[in-house]
Amino acid sequence: MTSSSAARNQHLDELRALMASHSPPIHALLIPSEDAHQSEYVSERDKRRQFISGFTGSAGLALITTKEALLWTDGRYFLQATNQLSDRWRLMRMGEDPPVEVWIADNLSAEAVIGIDSWCISVDSAQRYEQAFLKNNQTLFQLSSDLVDEVWKDRPPNDATPVIVHPVEFAGRSVAQKMKELREKLQHEKASGIIITALDEVAWLYNVRGNDVHYSPVVHSYAIVTLHGAFFYVDKRKVTTEVKNYMSESGIDIREYDMVQLDVSLLASGQLKGSAVNGSLHMEKDINVAEQSKIWIDSNSCCLALYSKLRPDQALMLQSPITLPKAVKNPMELTGLRKAHIRDGAAVVQYLAWLDNQMQENYGASGYFSEANGSQKKEHLEIKLTEVSVSDKLEAFRAEKEHFKGLSFPTISSVGPNAAIIHYSPEANTCAELDADKIYLCDSGAQYLDGTTDITRTVHFGKPSEHQKSCYTAVLKGHIALDAAVFPNGTTGHALDILARTPLWKSGLDYRHGTGHGIGSYLNVHEGPHLISFRPSARNVPLQASMTVTDEPGYYEDGNFGIRLENVLIVKEADTKFNFGEKGYLSFEHITWAPYQTKLINTALLTPAEIEWVNLYHSDCQKILESYLNVQEKEWLRKATEPITASS
């Protein structure tokens, strides 16, 4: 047993002791992945589920009972969780095993008390759990403090990184424009105010960014907006003079982060005071409370702790009115995203050319272009290539590019069997060395002031098997099919998901993750509300022009290899010959630029139209990127984008 495993076992025992001594006794403790803002990616100090379980994936839910420890996660992480969980844990596979609330209702005793930190659970989840617990008169109990924090003795501190004003030249729209539209929506719904808890929504609305969460340029904050005022709840140590003046000019009051719960109570009673626009004092009680007393919350992102301060009949529970405007990019955001992806594509090409050279020189690989048999690794390597060291080189190429601010998620740099772990995260001391005889999958992205990127390419520097080629080609065919889709307005990502899977299905293959997610504009790399997926939630929101979405089918063989190809797409209006039903039609514009490895393509499996698509994409790729490359890199890209034919 490792020291870390022993420590986690001790933490489990300590946690159970706290549960037993609590009043009332806690029979089971829910530990979500999310923070107080229901974020996908959280700060180090908010990684409670990771701390207690050892599972490092971004999605999952732990349940500690008096005798068992269980972890639920989705198909992206089944293999990773199996590898990371100790024998004291049981993996529960979402979509295959019962959901956590059903398991609790069926397996825990009647009248059991299930504890939860009410800041770390959404209203939707809490209400779903409470409904399931009625079956056996079980209780969801809101804890006054998080029990995990009490056993986490070396929990990271709360750093005070500064809030940053995001210039309109990148944001595309001013705070005044956004607030005007938001207040019009409040009036339309007869709401007196809205509580905004999602970090990217606060950042987007107020045109601010931060560094509180790795990979996501957000600041830990809340916002309350009323018909006459606006409030920004943040650790004031993070507020510079520039930000203070900016907020004042925008009519926004800055409050301490911890004041939000008290102010929600005041908002609920019409007693919330603040400095109104133009400096005069306003009080929300001035509003006709009888006519407009509803408080808007998004029950998917608002935590139970804040919701509990409202009367049940007072909460207007609708999707946040910020979600859709944030997802539908304005022209300046679209321009920025296109430019960011060009620079990012150049960095990826520089990386692939460098890696190709290194694999040939140090590992005797046949290389990116050749399929010659055999490889001869040098006995004394000058440079040992590992999953981490090469991903660091990719980051270095990106860091040279204009407006670079950091990565948009931990790079998935994976060799051979590790590539079959869908969201694999290599660690420097345990990661694999590159191997000329194995597939290499690299899923990576960056944050630039003008856009967020996400790209995946899969390559082989030796001789791929025919099976690997056929799998890669099936993934590519699905990738092309989605890219080339034309569909009527009102179509959801659920309807489009099948396009990317059909070529795999024809061989009895599939993948356990969604096909596409939205991308932020110098914000979160995963952005809703839309997605392309088999999951029922993908039916909720139709795709609209100016949305962004990824196109990333894949195929994974546990213990062997993984393949994924990913581009970012912009939804655009399609120029169709007809317009049946006067609906209007949509299509996609790809903005990601990096070549597909042609030696992994079995061209006999491609249609003439698919071959034409690859050749046109590669031709555009070369034209768009060559000005960013040196002579050797240009030559590498020229060779990588040579036309393919059915007989090649």
**Whole-angstrom Cα distance, residue 175 to residue 202?**
11
| CB 287 within 8 Å of CB 226 | yes
**Whole-angstrom Cα distance, residue 443 to residue 517?**
14
Q: Can you spell out the DSSP letters for 579-604? A: -GGG--EEEEEE-------GGG--GG
Q: Hey, CA dihedral for 595, 598, 603, 605, is it positive or negative?
A: negative
Nearest Cα to 211, choosing from 57, 407, 410?
Answer: 407
CA geometry: angle 581, 583, 587, nearest 5 deg? 125
Is pLDDT above 70 for 322? yes
Sequence-ordered list of residues with C-beta below 8 angstroms from that of 280, at least 6 positions apart, any chain:
none
pLDDT in tens, 577-603: 999 999 999 999 999 999 999 999 999
Q: What are phi and psi of 583, to 5 degrees?
A: -80, -35
Assigned fold of 164-277+288-326? Creatine Amidinohydrolase; Chain A, domain 1 (3.40.350)
Chain length of the chain: 648
Q: How confident is the model at residue 13 (pLDDT cuts 50, 70, 90)?
A: very high
Q: Where do the CATH 3.90.230.10 domains begin and end in the chain?
A: 331-386+432-641
Q: Where do the CATH 3.40.350.10 domains begin and end in the chain?
A: 1-151, 164-277+288-326
Mean pLDDT computed over 225-252: 97
User: What pLDDT, on the 0 to 100 scale, is given for residue 76?
Assistant: 87
Assigned fold of 331-386+432-641? Creatine Amidinohydrolase (3.90.230)
Read off the pTM.
Answer: 0.94
Q: Which CATH architecture has domain 1-151?
A: 3-Layer(aba) Sandwich (3.40)
pLDDT in tens, 510-565: 999 999 999 999 999 999 999 999 999 999 999 999 999 999 999 999 999 999 99
**Whole-angstrom Cα distance, residue 185 to residue 430?**
52
User: What pLDDT, on the 0 to 100 scale, is given for residue 3?
Assistant: 65
Q: How confident is the model at residue 326 (pLDDT cuts 50, 70, 90)?
A: very high
